[in-house]
């Protein structure tokens, strides 16, 4: 059991050494793009919710 765990940890460490980690600038750009997308989606849903709320209000 200990031997398997040790082998797993060695393999994990070796795999992590092959990973190409993003640079700080890449992370900042991806975060900004995500935030912009979230804000645009939230505004869209706010408008759609308002329109449907008013339509339902007119029907009732």
Q: Per residue of the chain (60 residues), give pLDDT as tens.
A: 899 999 999 999 999 999 999 999 999 999 999 999 999 999 999 999 999 999 999 998
Residue range of the domain that includes 51? 24-60
Q: Is residue 57 part of a domain?
A: yes
- The predicted pLDDT at position 56 comes to 95
Q: Is residue 16 part of a domain?
A: no
Q: Is residue 36 part of a domain?
A: yes
Q: Is residue 31 part of a domain?
A: yes
- The predicted pLDDT at position 30 comes to 98
- The predicted pLDDT at position 32 comes to 98
- The predicted pLDDT at position 60 comes to 87
Which stretches within 1-60 are classed as H helix? 2-17, 24-59
- The predicted pLDDT at position 18 comes to 95
Q: Is residue 2 part of a domain?
A: no
Cα 38 from Cα 47, distance rounded (Å): 14
């Amino acid at each position: 059991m200990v031997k398997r765990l040790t082998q797993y940890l060695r393999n994990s460490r070796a795999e992590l050494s092959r990973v190409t980690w993003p640079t700080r600038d890449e992370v900042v750009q991806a975060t900004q793009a995500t935030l912009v997308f979230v804000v645009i989606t939230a505004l869209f849903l706010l408008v759609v919710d308002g329109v449907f709320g008013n339509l339902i209000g007119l029907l009732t």
